[in-house]
């Protein structure tokens, strides 16, 4: 497990055109056939930055790699990702997880739980085929993430199948200039440094939703692949903000502010880039698009419909939260 801060958000889930017709009808028909994961484009006079929202847990059979993404990926000289997940980074993550996620000798997670939560922990361990003793030795934040990964894996959703990982492989093959926006320790500490009460909120959510979390995450992945940003926003950004404003600030707002500064530096230099970041960072009032727009950049949703009765690439200026 290496994408700790991003997996944390998973715990807070609730569950071209026919001849004739208006332009709106033709566009609607094209979208019905070709909608895919959303892309936005940021422009200034001498540079373009495409923002591609990703999902970090995907089923192997999900068809998400569309022509619009491939086209802008091929044109981009620089690709931004959230985090390096290579062998060295995974080793570092393992060491940090041990240091920050394991309770001190003599301490047990079960000692922090009430009878209701304890029964849920026992049920999750049993239903997920997880060694109880392993869960009982974890800090609440790590137990939450462990449970989420286990529930997702039970539904066939794996981090190694994430859109980010596929695109990193593609970037390496095409010899792109790759820039990572975060480092491993910051990602882990985004969860590990949360106050105890926030960690317990995450743990309780994971315990109560353990049996439905996998299907919930699959539905989110399917909504993302269909370009349904409203549904994705409702079940990620809106939910986490409502349940834990402090966690929302740490995982979304503050990181978006930092990444926006890095994107501005790229845009000041010119060229074409693509940023593949978690879709939650591109939705809502604290999205990266809003921050860049507030700083004077032109930001619009990018559409490149393909297929029978092709509509040429169009760009519609819309609210980036839509």
pLDDT band at 312 (very low <50, low <70, confident <90, very high): very low
pLDDT at 13 over 90: no
> How do residues 43-82 score in pLDDT, each as one tens digit?
999 999 999 999 999 999 998 999 899 999 999 999 999 9
Q: Of the given ranges (25-34, 58-67, 138-147, 293-302), which has the lowest mean pLDDT?
A: 25-34
Q: Of the given ranges (24-28, 190-194, 233-237, 290-294), which has the lowest mean pLDDT?
A: 24-28
321 in a structural domain = no
Taking phi first (over 0 means left), then psi (-120 to 50 degrees means alpha), and beta for anything else, what does residue 90 get?
alpha
279 in a structural domain = yes
Number of domains forming the structure of the chain: 1
> How do residues 80-128 score in pLDDT, each as one tens digit?
999 999 999 999 999 999 999 999 999 999 999 999 999 999 999 999 9
- Identify which has the larger pLDDT, 73 or 317: 73
45 in a structural domain = yes
Taking phi first (over 0 means left), then psi (-120 to 50 degrees means alpha), and beta for anything else, what does residue 21 get?
left
- Measuring CA to CA, how many Å separate 303 from each of 37, 70, 109, 272, 306? 10, 13, 48, 17, 10
26 in a structural domain = yes
Strands annotated E in 45-159: 47-54, 78-81
322 in a structural domain = no
Range of the domain at 115: 4-316
- Counts for the chain of helices (H) and strands (E), in that order: 16, 7
277 in a structural domain = yes
At 61, is the secondary structure helix, strand, or coil?
A: coil
49 in a structural domain = yes
Whole-model pTM: value is 0.84
Q: Of the given ranges (1-15, 45-59, 63-77, 245-259), which has the lowest mean pLDDT?
A: 1-15
Q: What share of the chain is helix, strand, coil (3-state, %, to 5)?
A: 55, 15, 30
> How do residues 182-200 score in pLDDT, each as one tens digit?
999 998 998 999 999 999 9
How do beta strands 177-180 and 78-81 pair?
parallel
The residues, ordered by sequence, that sit 6+ positions from 146 with a Cβ below 8 Å of its Cβ are 1, 130, 134, 135, 138
């Amino acid at each position: 497990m290496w994408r700790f801060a991003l997996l944390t958000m998973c715990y807070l889930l609730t569950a071209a055109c026919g001849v004739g017709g208006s332009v709106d009808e033709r566009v609607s028909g094209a979208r019905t056939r070709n909608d895919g994961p959303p892309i936005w484009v940021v422009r200034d006079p001498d540079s373009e930055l495409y923002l591609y929202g990703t999902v970090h847990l995907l089923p192997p059979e999900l068809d998400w790699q569309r022509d619009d993404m491939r086209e802008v990926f091929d044109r981009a000289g620089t690709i931004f990702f959230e985090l390096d997940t290579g062998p060295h980074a995974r080793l570092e993550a393992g060491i940090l997880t041990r240091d920050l996620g394991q309770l001190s000798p003599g301490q047990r997670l079960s000692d922090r739980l009430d009878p209701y939560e304890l029964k849920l922990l026992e049920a999750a361990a049993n239903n997920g085929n997880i060694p109880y003793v392993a869960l009982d030795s974890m800090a609440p934040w790590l137990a939450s993430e462990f449970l989420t990964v286990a529930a997702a894996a039970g539904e066939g959703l794996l981090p190694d199948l994430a859109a980010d990982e596929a695109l990193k492989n593609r970037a390496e093959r095409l010899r792109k200039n790759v820039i990572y926006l975060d480092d491993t320790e910051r990602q882990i500490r985004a969860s590990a440094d949360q106050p105890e009460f926030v960690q317990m909120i995450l743990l309780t959510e994971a315990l109560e939703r353990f049996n439905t979390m996998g299907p919930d995450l699959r539905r989110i992945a399917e909504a993302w692949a269909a370009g349904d940003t409203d549904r994705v926003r409702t079940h990620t950004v809106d939910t986490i903000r409502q349940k834990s404003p402090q966690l929302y600030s740490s995982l979304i707002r503050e990181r978006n502010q930092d990444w926006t500064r890095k994107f501005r530096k790229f845009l000041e230099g010119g060229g074409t880039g693509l940023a593949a970041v978690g879709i939650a960072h591109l939705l809502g009032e604290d999205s990266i698009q809003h921050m860049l727009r507030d700083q004077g950049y032109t930001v619009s949703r990018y559409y490149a419909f393909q297929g029978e009765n092709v509509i040429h690439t169009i760009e519609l200026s819309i609210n980036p939260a839509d």
